[in-house]
Homo-oligomer: A and B are copies of this chain.
């Protein structure tokens, strides 16, 4: 009973705590499972559909106590599968229990629930500002695209046609031309750009849209790959190839900074191989994140489209010399997949662990009282602490429900990944102080007693602590990443690294066929040629020929 021992109020907490922190047991009554009437579940996602009923507390605390006792005795009641035991089951359990998302009625679709959507809103808030700072305007293109548009760019149609959802009936009638529900918008964007762009003075044209997109994926997984997902897609047009290249690089840099500074995800940034380049692009830049199971997640991409779409759609401009030229373009996107990346980077057996900068709730206050005459004092103090933090711009929640024990609340908010918990009991009220616990440091070590409630002390302390947690999550993920990338100089070493579940990094100048062979034989693909390259001469791990660059190979989502 680690938590009990570490608590400063044993007389209270021994009554409330039925499950101990050390076993990371989630509150059981909370996660009653129920088979929903879904028709086509996500592949390998049986648990994700489990219906949580977090807002349905048990009828009495006795009921809760009984459940908790059951759970103490019986590990089978544990609802979040341990991460080490089954990473995928753990992931789906976290999503269900933290109420991030649920299944939609159509196979592969997802309902993003308020807590999950709030993470997406935090992502949007940050990126939206950055896009505007870098000169982009938001706008909106229709989602229905004439089928013929998709066919105009050869590699684009090849890449996307197997994944299309097609509208064939409108207003009760068979349509003359089938409409594609946008899988991405390059084609319709170019159709419009052709009408808007005439002269070099119209360039650069820098736009972005926040939208839903549809790709008829066969293997789906909540957030990571769903039939419909939310994203932003930037589309830009330029007068020169240099400007387009500069833009593509600028936006992958925005994504990289976002990943490091906001999501605390130490992505590897680099260029995709020809095989992995976006359908229709000349070059694709990518940020690749290492998940907790060491699989790679492509978390954002920025494409230099060259003139591929402008030639297909004849998007031309008159240059300064009066010559007609096709425009040079980019596109770039980040999607709700990033939420999956956050879960799989930071989460642990207790559930979600959110980086403070993206957490919908940064601080949860749990008031603790035993006797009725303590309640008012504790709640008053808790409310004023809440007000102080709220006024200072901290996202704070006071969980003053009567229906749950403090112990239940501790577990619940840990599972929801809230970075800081503040506990306030009668003794704290008497001493004018609070107890502060860090989500990312389990048990005693993460707990500090006697922090003054005095606003000037408390606000600074909490903000520093949030920064510290943010930095700590990044440091931990970086160290995990670095200890799981192996430098290899031969195909045998590569195979060995991949078979251990690691990323393999080595010089590569072999053919597309060799790349395909690696994929077939190991399941790993080139995630990218990282921008950070070692100096000196290199020898291709596959062919022994000189290699200009190292590549990173990994299994991926």
Contacts and interface: CB of A to CB of B under 8 A. Distances in A.
A486 to B, nearest CB: 37
B56 A199 contact: yes
Interface string A36-76: 10010000000000010101110000000000000000000
A139 interface: yes
A198 B53 contact: yes
- What is the predominant secondary structure among interface residues of chain A facing chain B? mixed
A172 interface: yes
A188 interface: yes
Copies of the chain in the assembly: 2
Contacts of A163: 171
A212 B179 CA distance: 16
B111 A137 contact: no
Kindly name the residue among A144, A168, A181, A227 whose own CB sees the greatest number of chain B CB atoms within 10 A: A144
Interface string A145-166: 1100100000000000111111
Contacts of A198: 53, 56
A363 to B, nearest CB: 18
A142 B55 contact: no
A149 B105 contact: yes
A424 interface: no
Given A139-B112, A181-B167, A227 B106 contact: no
A106 B144 contact: yes
Interface string A195-224: 110110110010100011010101000000
Given A118-B138, A139-B113, A144-B228, A161 B169 contact: no
Contacts of A191: 105
B138 A114 contact: yes
B162 A172 contact: yes
B56 A171 contact: no
Interface in A306-357: none
Given A53-B202, A56-B199, A165-B170, A142 B181 contact: no
A171 B162 contact: yes
A400 interface: no
B165 A216 contact: no
Interface in A94-129: 102, 104-106, 109-114, 116-118, 120-121
Contact of A140 (B111, B171, B216): B111
A196 B161 CA distance: 36
Contacts of A140: 111-112, 117, 120, 230
Nearest to A192: B111
Contact of A169 (B118, B146, B165, B211): B165
Nearest to A200: B56
A318 to B, nearest CB: 9
B144 A57 contact: no
B111 A139 contact: yes
A138 B121 contact: yes
A240 interface: no
Contacts of A53: 196, 198, 202
Interface string A255-278: 000000000000000000000000
Nearest to A121: B138
A104 B56 contact: no
A522 interface: no
Contacts of A164: 169-172
A143 interface: yes
A202 B137 CA distance: 40
Contact of A212 (B112, B165, B211, B403): B211
A228 B104 contact: no
A106 B149 CA distance: 11
B144 A195 contact: no
Interface of A: 34, 36, 39, 51, 53, 55-57, 102, 104-106, 109-114, 116-118, 120-121, 137-146, 149, 161-172, 178-179, 181, 188, 191-192, 195-196, 198-199, 201-202, 205, 207, 211-212, 214, 216, 218, 227-228, 230, 403
5 contacts: A39-B146, A51-B195, A113-B139, A114-B207, A117-B138
9 closest cross-chain pairs (CB), A and B: A114-B137, A171-B216, A109-B142, A104-B142, A166-B169, A112-B140, A170-B216, A56-B199, A117-B139
